[in-house]
Structure 1
């Protein structure tokens, strides 16, 4: 299974196992056990790498002071053999809940003193919550046993495995958040929002060699981790990133620490604190050693997603250096208190991004005063309006605010990104292209129509420091306009044609080809086939040719980057490099949306990068591996996981079918197509049956399918009634008993083709041969084509063929499946590379080649729309109505009826004539 499949499987199973426990609470248990497994596996990996034998490992006990000291100093903690996750699994039925409670207690005792801030109390939530997993020791033991067996297959060592572990961890957090109602926003920032904030920060810090980042409301820690990943694309040594985190709630504080540790971040680079960010600012010193640990904490970047509009206590905080310069947030809304806290901890060249409710942009009172001070002090760099319903548990409108300590420019970039998203379930989700566009816009501070605007300080002052996005960026769709003259008399307004100016600029003389001059400021459509006229125009052909020229060597470029450098390329940096290349190729190509092209890359890269990680971790032979295809099936009312064939570890079976085994694959497809044809023929015959025939015994209760047994019985009945001269003669022969009579009969009757039967040695024909020939004659009898009998014969033949073809398809599919497995396992290096090229490069290049067609299709649709808009004039409609009324009135004149009928018709005629 790939990481997505494994994560989905764990989530589905965990969701069933949690029973009545709330999702938001159950996450603490499953994630706690995942973290314990990680620590156990990490210790085992260290021991094995340092020459510990299995016997040595099984001898690990807390009483062995020397070994405990050695392990603690190198790993940061010590876990005895009896307490290892792998030991729990080996215990089988002997496993008990007490094994867990004892192990967690021992862990707290055996933490390296220098790592206490990272590990101390990290399992408190799990320890205190074990009692909720069952009403008795036995039920708790079973629940825990089920949990540890559920997560036992998560890999936890090596670069690839860190990624799998981290992916599963984040996936589970996000799924629990999505199912936890209003509590979700307290500890989880959707990955896409986190990535957007991270990319903005990373772009600002990309030239630094050492970086300190801080999240004062860290929740699950995803924001910090994503920033680290984004920065890693620009920095040479990821160990030069230091992570500071603070979280109020013990449970989510533990999530932060677990998440950071499991990403392979060095414990020395993790500094965390469980505390109230607003009430108790980051300590200036460690109480144990106040002099040497004095640290006011100034960092390169702060990211946060604080709880929205939370109540807080501003009493006696006027002199707090975090708020003194700007003012105190109101008691009912702590949004600006969090913002000012973040800003205070920034270095002079630092940057911060914070998620806040939209109201912080326009609310007055204390918040309005803080906003004014921030603007006049030139700290607000950008404001990004996000789509609604993007956070779990709330549909509140949110923004990301970007602030800096020192800025060269004095304007504020305002971005309305509320329209760019896709719908996923109940929530909206930013696409990769949406994130890229926002980050690029913020980085270059671009003014983009209906998307972004650099608001000068003077403009903001005129708006009384109100930063509400619609005041600066109008992203609404314009109302459709209708030209009164064209509506009445026809023609296409030149003003509406002019709205397509970007196309006319890109395609010189195309407008003149499509439209001719009409009356006054109006034009007429000059062509019959708009699509053909556009596609065949020289300017459009030149546009397509230029595009193809720009991407002529794109496939060879990708091959060089991804295939030739497969073992050495830097996966985290490669997508940036590829997107820059695509953007460069599009620099001089009009009309093509470069972010649409980027989305195509991002969609494919999500798959390519997973393959690359596997190859770089496991070696190139991973391409030649197949894995058991494990599926969930029900047996005896219970679900169990069973193997259902094989799947490629990297290479999909279908790709091998299309390339290396095309002959076998096409032959199978042909037989499958024949099955489809047979089913269509059944439907045709069903449709041709009369109601009486359809309701006969040959169809099922719903009369929408044939019943094989009944069709067979009906066929026997029909055949028994078949009567021909040859059949009558054969039946007469069958009635004879004496040999002499039979021989005489045979000589006398040439109306039977006797040679179609196998004769006895004495020249007569036995009963079996005669009956077989009779059946053959009956079945060969041709009934009238549209008769019920002919249809039954046809159905019977189709059923026989269906059975034969199904058996062939099943056998051929099984044979092809096993041949595909063998083919993948015996691939040469050259074949493996060619398949990777087919999987990675071909889909991307083909989708990019379609971009010019998409542009011309949009243009054709727009031209059709404006031409059809005024094709039927109002006067023509009125004229048609009048003509219809006149015709109807004339028809009424021909009607006759009694006195009252005629009075009614006369009144109706007056209405038709408008009298």
Structure 2
């Protein structure tokens, strides 16, 4: 399975296994064991590369100083063979929680001096919390064993860009945060927000050979790592990125260290501290030698998502260099204390991004003074208003502020990005296109109507340093207005037609085709079919032709980029390269939104990049591989993982079936389609019943489905009541049998009753009771009831049930055969077939979605014109005429009514009201 499937499987299983343990606590256990597995596998991998055999590994013992020293020099730690993760698995039933306690204790003892700051006490949270996994050693052992089995399949090699471990780790952290409630969710910054901050920073730091980045409220370390990944796109050597982090909660401080180590960052580039950022600034010296190690920390970029409006102690900090230039944040809200801390630690040419609550933009008193100083010192570069409900555990509005120590200008860019999101469960989520638009707007310092504005310092001063975004950017939707004249007399206001000016600029002849103006401020529709008129317009045809020409060779470009270079292309950079190519093609084409095009690319890129990672890691043969499809099913009241068929490792079964196995697939789909039709026919029959006919047990309680057994029972009763001359004759013959009449009497009866087709009964002479009964049943079932009668409908229902039963069996057998044939087909694909299927999976959907953009734009225009025409189609005068006609019609009907003297007086008065008298 790919990394997404594996991560999802682990999360689902872990969430079930945690039982009554809080999500925020359970994360410490599963993430801690994943980290231990990583270190264990890392040691085995390094030693095997150095020539160690399996037998050599078994000699890894703590008493062997040479082996301990060797591992410490290569890794910074030592794990004995007895304590390796793989050894735990081999122990089977002999494994116990004591093995874990011993291993974690030994790990702490055997960290090399050079790596103490990276690894020291890193398993403390896990070690002290083991007792919460059960009430006894046995229950703890069971819980841990289940965890080990859950994570044992996570690959730890991290080859090329196939960062499965990092992806799963991040996936689990985000899911635990989403399920952990307000307080527990504070330690995690949603990936999309991290990505936005990282892209802003990375753009600023382009071209630098060495980069230092710092997160003073690091939490899980995810924000810091995302920044590092974005920066790494623009730097030749990833080892030239140094990571500083500080976190005051010990368990999340440990998460930071684990996360950084597992991303393959060398220990020398990891400097992490557990401490209170506001109380104790970054230590400027090594505790062991303060005098000679005094070094202020100034970095290229600081990023942070501090706790919002936290209480702090500002006393005795007047001389603190972090705050003395700008002012002291109030003790009830430390937001600006965190901001000034971050600002203090960036270099003159550095940059910082910080997430803060919206209130920091306009709250007064001490915060107002700090805000003024920041503006007067030209520190604030941009303010980005984020969508509400974007962070786990809080729905308050938040912003990202971008600041620098020294800037060549004093203008501040305000961006209202609060409406750029999609719903994702309970939260809102930034899309890739939203992030791209924000980053581009900052880079170009763009003023965009209803979205962003570059504001001068003078204007901000005039607003008393209030930075509330709505003061500078009005992103509110334009309220719909109604033209009074057009409402009463008709016509389409030219002013409202002009609101579609972007279309008229792109299609200069189209407005005159669609509308006729009589010299007044109003126009009338000049065509009978708006859609046809627009589609037939030469302007529109030229627009579509221009787009098609621009993308004429796009499929070939993608083929050369993705298919031909799949083994060696840089996955992290490829999406950006393709997006630039798309932007270049649409740059001169009006109406095409490049950010919508970018989103179309990103929507497809998730599956393309996953496939590329697999192919680059496992080879092209992975395209011809199938995996067991493992699902969770209930068995004896417990969840159990079982195999349910197969799934393509890279190539989806459905794609193979719709291309290489069309006939077999069509046969299955035809059966499935007929089953759907039968369900619809059931509904039609039921809806045709009268309320009286629905009485009985043959329908369920909701009267929307048949109860098969009861339907058959009801029909049997109906058949027994059926009558015909032949049936009457057969019933008479049965009475002779019941009376035990002799043979001659029976023969005489047969001769006299010619209404019976005696030849249709098996046998000759006289007939046995069973044979006669069978004939009666055949006649009953062949009985023709009047069309649309209740009885005829039940006959139809039973016929459908018989057909459905046979169809289900046939469809199941055909689907199973097709499934196995698909598996065999994938495993025996030729290279050419595999490449063709990759083309259909990667290139065809993206190309189709892009080519649909002009059509979507034209449809939007058609909808807008039709809505505008319909808005004023019925005038006030039309309504008045209709009302008067209705009143007159009602008055005339009253004249025909009969009643008492008093009824007539009442009706007469009502008529007077209708006539307005």
TM-score range, shorter chain: over 0.9
- 1:658 corresponding residue in structure 2: 658
Matches within 5 A, 1:716-735: 721=722, 723=724, 728=729
Residues 177 and 183, structure 1, Cα contact 8 Å, conserved in 2: no
Residues 354 and 401, structure 2, Cα contact 8 Å, conserved in 1: yes
Residues 160 and 614, structure 1, Cα contact 8 Å, conserved in 2: no
- 1:192 corresponding residue in structure 2: 192
- 1:528 corresponding residue in structure 2: 528
- 1:867 corresponding residue in structure 2: 869
Q: How has the CA–CA distance of structure 1 residues 703 and 895 changed in structure 2, closer, same or farther, with 3 Å as cutoff?
A: closer
Residues 733 and 746, structure 2, Cα contact 8 Å, conserved in 1: no
- Quick check: 1:826 aligned with 2:828? yes
- Quick check: 1:206 aligned with 2:206? yes
Residues 433 and 598, structure 1, Cα contact 8 Å, conserved in 2: yes
Q: Structure 1: which 5+ residue stretches go unaligned?
A: none
- Quick check: 1:847 aligned with 2:849? yes
Aligned-residue offset at 1:728:
4.9
Matches within 5 A, 1:2-401: 2-159=2-159, 163-290=163-290, 293-401=293-401
Aligned-residue offset at 1:725:
5.4
Quick one: distance in 1 between partners of 2:771 and 2:361? 97
Residues 555 and 845, structure 1, Cα contact 8 Å, conserved in 2: yes
Matches within 5 A, 1:469-618: 469-518=469-518, 520-618=520-618
**Once the two structures are superposed, what CA deviation does each residue of 1:394-440 show, in whole Å capped at 9, x if it has no partner?**
12211111112222232111111111111122211111110010011
Quick one: distance in 2 between partners of 1:748 and 1:361? 104
Bigger drift between 39-48 and 831-840 goes to 39-48
Aligned-residue offset at 1:482:
1.7
Quick one: distance in 1 between partners of 2:220 and 2:700? 58
Residues 743 and 764, structure 1, Cα contact 8 Å, conserved in 2: no
Q: How has the CA–CA distance of structure 1 residues 557 and 743 changed in structure 2, closer, same or farther, with 3 Å as cutoff?
A: farther
Quick one: distance in 1 between partners of 2:603 and 2:569? 19
Q: How has the CA–CA distance of structure 1 residues 389 and 715 changed in structure 2, closer, same or farther, with 3 Å as cutoff?
A: closer
Quick one: distance in 2 between partners of 1:58 and 1:95? 17
Paired residue secondary structure (2:271):
strand
Paired residue secondary structure (1:694):
coil
Residues 739 and 764, structure 1, Cα contact 8 Å, conserved in 2: no
Q: Structure 2: which 5+ residue stretches go unaligned?
A: none
Paired residue secondary structure (1:159):
coil
- 2:681 corresponding residue in structure 1: 681
Q: How has the CA–CA distance of structure 1 residues 418 and 785 changed in structure 2, closer, same or farther, with 3 Å as cutoff?
A: same
Aligned-residue offset at 1:771:
6.8
Cα-Cα RMSD = 2.8
Aligned-residue offset at 1:619:
0.7
- 1:648 corresponding residue in structure 2: 648
2:884 counterpart (870, 882, 885): 882
Quick one: distance in 2 between partners of 1:136 and 1:522? 84
- 2:796 corresponding residue in structure 1: 794
Quick one: distance in 2 between partners of 1:848 and 1:521? 39
Aligned-residue offset at 1:346:
1.4
Aligned-residue offset at 1:574:
0.3
Quick one: distance in 1 between partners of 2:595 and 2:601? 10
Bigger drift between 115-124 and 709-718 goes to 709-718
Residues 727 and 777, structure 1, Cα contact 8 Å, conserved in 2: no
Quick one: distance in 2 between partners of 1:133 and 1:730? 77
Bigger drift between 528-537 and 571-580 goes to 528-537
**Once the two structures are superposed, what CA deviation does each residue of 1:531-586 show, in whole Å capped at 9, x if it has no partner?**
22112211111111111111111111111111111101100000000111111111
Quick one: distance in 1 between partners of 2:770 and 2:89? 68
Q: How has the CA–CA distance of structure 1 residues 375 and 703 changed in structure 2, closer, same or farther, with 3 Å as cutoff?
A: closer
Aligned-residue offset at 1:748:
13
Quick one: distance in 1 between partners of 2:382 and 2:190? 21
Q: How has the CA–CA distance of structure 1 residues 204 and 713 changed in structure 2, closer, same or farther, with 3 Å as cutoff?
A: same
Aligned-residue offset at 1:277:
1.5
Aligned-residue offset at 1:826:
0.6
TM-score, normalisation: structure 2? 0.94
**Once the two structures are superposed, what CA deviation does each residue of 1:710-738 show, in whole Å capped at 9, x if it has no partner?**
44455555666454559959997998997
Q: How has the CA–CA distance of structure 1 residues 779 and 394 changed in structure 2, closer, same or farther, with 3 Å as cutoff?
A: closer
Q: How many residue pairs are counted as aligned between the two chains?
A: 912
Quick one: distance in 1 between partners of 2:417 and 2:861? 25
Quick one: distance in 2 between partners of 1:741 and 1:357? 101
**Once the two structures are superposed, what CA deviation does each residue of 1:108-144 show, in whole Å capped at 9, x if it has no partner?**
1111111111100111111222222233333323332
Bigger drift between 770-779 and 324-333 goes to 770-779
Q: How has the CA–CA distance of structure 1 residues 738 and 125 changed in structure 2, closer, same or farther, with 3 Å as cutoff?
A: same
**Once the two structures are superposed, what CA deviation does each residue of 1:849-895 show, in whole Å capped at 9, x if it has no partner?**
11111111211222122222222222322332233334334444454
Aligned-residue offset at 1:330:
2.4
Residues 343 and 352, structure 1, Cα contact 8 Å, conserved in 2: yes
Quick one: distance in 1 between partners of 2:137 and 2:727? 86
Q: How has the CA–CA distance of structure 1 residues 741 and 830 changed in structure 2, closer, same or farther, with 3 Å as cutoff?
A: same
**Once the two structures are superposed, what CA deviation does each residue of 1:158-205 show, in whole Å capped at 9, x if it has no partner?**
337962221221122122222222214531111110000000111111
- 2:837 corresponding residue in structure 1: 835
Aligned-residue offset at 1:315:
2.5
Quick one: distance in 1 between partners of 2:727 and 2:17? 74
Residues 630 and 644, structure 1, Cα contact 8 Å, conserved in 2: yes
- 1:816 corresponding residue in structure 2: 818
Residues 743 and 766, structure 2, Cα contact 8 Å, conserved in 1: no
Residues 156 and 162, structure 1, Cα contact 8 Å, conserved in 2: no
**Once the two structures are superposed, what CA deviation does each residue of 1:608-651 show, in whole Å capped at 9, x if it has no partner?**
11111111111111111111111111111111111111111111
Aligned-residue offset at 1:673:
1.3
Aligned-residue offset at 1:786:
3.2
